[in-house]
Amino acid sequence: EQQSSVRALFGFVARLTAHNLKQFVFIATLKTWSSAQTYCRMHHTDLAMIENEAENSEVRHLIPVEVHVWIGLYRVPWSWSDKSPSRFQLWGFSEPNNVEGIQHCVCENWSDANCDAPHVFICHQGDQKRSSVKN
């Protein structure tokens, strides 16, 4: 019985490694949010989805301080680039403030910004979201 649960555990880890592990990639090229999305979909999987604090700090370590970096979040309701709803959010002070009603996309410091503004960005790669492992 113990052996079968060990086998189940290894099966889980193998699937996570083979198909589901999400990796973040920093792209140091200025693009609008939708151009960044196109780039990420062509070369990786999509603009970054940040679904928990661990992923958020992983992304923080990849990017220069004080630089605005697109992630895959947009309004409204707040959704990820692949249209899945966003459960994890870590808004900066007084954000989202939708200045002049034109801030519909989100930067990594958790501020909403004008989608047409050029920023560097973060893609992610990996087939699926981590949460789909339970299927």
User: Of these, 97, 102, 116, 131, which contacts Ca ion (CB under 5 A)?
Assistant: 97
Alpha helices, DSSP H, located in 31-98: 33-43, 53-62
Between 114 and 125, name the residue whose CB sits nearer to Ca ion: 114
Q: Is 112 in the site for Ca ion (CB under 5 A)?
A: yes
Between 22 and 33, name the residue whose CB sits nearer to Ca ion: 33
User: Of these, 32, 34, 86, 111, which contacts Ca ion (CB under 5 A)?
Assistant: 111
Name the closest residue to Ca ion (Cβ).
112
Q: Is 89 in the site for Ca ion (CB under 5 A)?
A: no
Q: Which residue carries 């193998």 as its tokens?
A: 14
Query: What is the residue-wise DSSP string for 78-97?
Result: TEETTSPBP----PPTT---
CA 104 to mean position of chain CA atoms: 16
Whether the ω angle into residue 96 lies within 30 degrees of 0, i.e. cis, is: yes
- Which chain residues interact with Ca ion by CB under 5 A? 97, 103, 111-112
